[in-house]
Amino acid sequence: MPKRIPLADLPPGEGRTIEVDNQVIAVFNVGGQIHAMDGICPHAGGPLGDGYLDGNLVTCPWHGWQFDVTTGACTFSPDMVQGLCGVTITGNEVEISAPAE
Ligand code: FES
């Protein structure tokens, strides 16, 4: 089941960690555009949704790997790509679907 969260909970320039269908998902607001992806860092499992967001780059809070939240790609290893989630804005809410397995 997709999950809905209020847009007001996700101000521009911020990220959140949520759970969708028992998967950890990172959600970000980049200048008003909402992006969501697999929220578990492939390095050692850090919570990407709790990382520092600068433009469209998030820095993992554990050891600093960086990912483009619009594509899911790791900056230094573009072959490493986080699964992207479906995002639908409806009124004042954003609906997020887990990435396809
Ligand atoms: S767990 Fe993310 S950089 Fe190490």
47 Cα: distance to centroid of ligand 1 (angstroms): 8
38, 25 in Cβ contact below 8 A?
yes
Give the separation between CA 7 and CA 28, rounded to whole angstroms.
11
Least confident of 35-44, 45-54, 91-100: 91-100
pLDDT band at 101 (very low <50, low <70, confident <90, very high): low
| Closest atom of ligand 1 relative to the 48 alpha carbon | 2
Q: pLDDT > 90: what percent of the chain?
A: 95
**Residue 100: pLDDT over 80:** no
Q: What is the CATH number of the domain that holds 42?
A: 2.102.10.10
> What are the residues facing 38 on neighbouring strands?
25
Rounded mean pLDDT of 56-79?
Answer: 96
Could you give the number of structural domains in the chain? 1
pLDDT band at 78 (very low <50, low <70, confident <90, very high): confident
60 Cα: distance to centroid of ligand 1 (angstroms): 6
